[in-house]
Structure 1
Amino acid sequence: MIGSTVHVMPAADGEWTVEDDKDAERASYASRAEAIAAGVHKALENEAVLLILGRTNARSEFDFCNCGVAPKRN
């Protein structure tokens, strides 16, 4: 059962924040890539939904096909 959401979002100071809404735990990272990696790890550990926000409203997509977790596409 999914019980929480892990948010990866930009912080006002140019850093990136990872926050779990279940326990209000927050961590800051210097780059978006570091924050996403930490967010993925935290979401997997807690069986949570991962929500990645950007600095703009532009859509971004992630391809997890070659990471060894997602099923292979034909």
Structure 2
Amino acid sequence: MVAPRTGKQKDSQDAYMEKLQDIKVRVPKEYYDKIKSCAESKGLSINKLVISLLENEIGEKILSIREKNKLEKDSSE
């Protein structure tokens, strides 16, 4: 059984989620398994596969919140 989140954990998760924006992609059901297999064959989640494709299209690395925070922390030291 998973322990319930503490107030501090909830606040931290809420703050993290506020920094994100959802993009919903709808595809016909018959393509879902093909997309999932493609992602898995590359060792990626569907989300990471889509981000990778978007990075190639826009020519820019899309950093996760964790990656941004690490860069900011490293540059301030």
Common fold: TM-score over 0.5? no
Q: TM-score if structure 2 supplies the norm length? A: 0.28
Query: Which structure exhibits the higher relative contact order, with contacts defined as CA atoms closer than 8 Å and separated by 6 or more residues?
Result: 1
Q: Normalized per residue, which structure has more strand?
A: 1
Q: Which has the larger radius of gyration?
A: 2
Q: TM-score, normalised by structure 1?
A: 0.28
